Amino acid sequence: MVKNPFSSSPLINRFTLRTPALISSASLSCPGKQREKDTAPIGRRAFRPDFTVDNLSLAIEVKLATEKHSPSAIQEEIAADITAYKTRWKHLLFVIYDTGVIADPYQMRRENMRLFGVSVVIIKH
């Protein structure tokens, strides 16, 4: 059995346990929602958003910003996800839980919306 390297961190455990539950409960009444089921195949790789709502053509991706998972790494992931997800879903929502490493969350949100046309929600811890 492989031990989860984040299991000792209460912050990581709260994030991983609560975020899917919050998003799932917020969209309970939304028919067609799925969790980690649909993929956007690009070549040999398949991109899998955390949540999808088919009747809204919506993909939701959740990210955790920590010292080890920097804002620049998250931005690179978002750019790659956008390229793949836009082949299948019309609307994209990125939810970023920030542990205090994003210096200017407003700029990150604004630039992603302006340049890529995606919605970004940043939750500060």
Q: Where are the domains of the chain?
A: 32-124
Dist CA 120 CA 96 (whole Å): 7
Give the Cβ contact number of residue 24 at 10 Å.
13
Residue range 18-69, pLDDT digits in tens: 455 544 544 445 555 555 566 665 656 777 899 999 899 999 999 999 999 9
- Class assignment of domain 32-124? alpha beta
Give the Cβ contact number of residue 90 at 10 Å.
10
Residue range 72-120, pLDDT digits in tens: 999 999 999 999 999 999 999 999 999 999 999 999 999 999 999 999 9
Q: Are 35 and 20 in contact (CB under 8 A)?
A: yes
Residue-level pLDDT at 48: 86
The residue assigned the tokens 């992931």 is 77
Q: Structure pTM?
A: 0.70
H/E element, 107: helix 105-116
